[in-house]
Structure 1
Amino acid sequence: MDHGDVVPIAELLDERRYLLDVAYWMLGSRSEAECVVDETYRRWYGLSDAGREQITAPRSWLAKTAGGICLGRLVLPDRGAGGRGGGRRTRAVDGEGPWAVVEGEVSRVLLEALDSVSPAERAAFVLNDVFGMTSGAVADIVGRTEAECAELAHRVRRGLRTQRSLPTTPERHDSLARAVRDACAAEDAALLASLLSPDATAFFDGGGKVRALAGPVHGSRRVAHSLLTLLADRPRTTLATHSVNGRTGLVVRYDRQVAAVISLDIADRHIAQVWVTLNPDKLHAWNHTPGSGGSGSGRSPAHRGDGWS
């Protein structure tokens, strides 16, 4: 190894932490995640020097390899069970060692919900929604087309919404959405956090087109902070209630351009999940509807609420 091959220790540790996070989300087990990462590095060093030199993005190669190993561990136990449910893992509850940090960041509720989906669905959702991998990388790992992986991830999102959301009246949903808008307008983090479930989760879908958070945010305070940070820079950033998927949601505009659409899932009278769409491709219809003139007026809503600026 010459000096050009030396990698800063901070980058090395961050890389391993990233791979451990990927494996833990995929498998839900600390010990198995450690084994997967060890195997990933064994495969890396099993390459010839020439082979390693041809890899221009080692971290991407390592992540793809780790994801493939995880998927193999999920699929193998399922062969006699129709391919569903065999990927269940028992999670340790101790907080010792380096995994204590991960345990504090990962929603146990979400991990348990993922135990009920198929290995391919879990892989597609985790790699796309949690780690923000490109659609091509996800497809390579899962062994499906990009369109099929997108559908797999969509099914998981839909299932998570069903599991976390309890029936609520449109009036109650509308009231909570407006309360969220008002708390954001006041930049009141405490008030916003009080509207969220203690284990609330926020997902940020940038689609690899904007520098959005790669993973979900957990906990009412952290979700509140992330939303207020996202909505900073008033008055150019404005927020209004708007019909989103048939329920009251929020539309964020920056200089009149729709920059984000936020949908809310409710459980036990609080916001359980926040879904923030930042992907410009998915916002195209909001900014280019008939009669909008490209001004960002968005889809025709069932109702139009007041915004703040």
Structure 2
Amino acid sequence: MGTVGSTGGKAGETVGERRQLINVAYRLLGSVTEAEDAVQDAYARWYALPRDRQEEILSPGAWLTTVTSRICLDVLGSARARRERYVGAWLPEPLPDRTEWDPTGGTVRTGPADPADQIVLDESVAMAFLVVLESMTPAERVAFVLHDVFRYPFAEIAGILGRTPAACKQLAASARRRVSGTPAPVAANTRSDVVRQVKEAWQTKDIATLVDLLDPDAVMTADGGGLAGSVLRPVEGGTRIAQYMAAIADRAPGLELLERSVNGVPGLVARRAGVVVTVASFDVSDGRVTRIWVVRNPEKLRPWAL
């Protein structure tokens, strides 16, 4: 990406790129913590450059994006081995919409900005989309996210992946085929209505209604990371999921269930004594829930600590 040019305002340019870099890195890694680490590493490499080298770089933002993407590529390459050691299923870290927690519509936090607050909540961070990204090879994911989500040209992506532009185009096309096999997203109000009904049925332990709201082939995946109780394997079938949810309700007195946006999509959040202990995302098709992703790993719920 660009290498020679203007020398003015480099420090301001690099600082201003942090939000974009966090957005790229989260979509590449599915982890707020790992995204922040990747961006911090990229900035450390920038500041380690000699001043004359910094001045030669035409676009600090392009340079930082290249370095961040390469760091993410390395992380993705090692993630498979790490996730084989992970206890139970691994799910991306869920993101809150902070304005929903503040009646004034302002920011809740004070002090340094949380990286999660800098991530734009759109369809490219919906849990269903992130889960599909997890099925891609690292190179496919980088090519697809940078080109299809952030509109980077293949000539620049080629420099990141160390491949030809034509090869990167093929990687993105292969990734796109994976995405095209997923159902089209439903309207937010329809999804919200279904999620609300699930919440009400769960609270009243109405198994019959839950079964009716769940697709017969629905699948629920939970991520406790070995740090919070959860099923280690996906629960399959609407009836089995409904029975499991009712059993959880019996064992979780005092749990407060709230309708909240999860990664920009209607979801449910469970709190105990004011602390978020579970975040659930839903995929809905034809008025029924087809997938449920439940995150209980407290390390992945840090952005929800208000």
Query: TM-score when scaled to structure 1?
Result: 0.48
Query: TM-score when scaled to structure 2?
Result: 0.48
Q: Which has the higher contact order (CA 8 A, sep 6+)?
A: 2
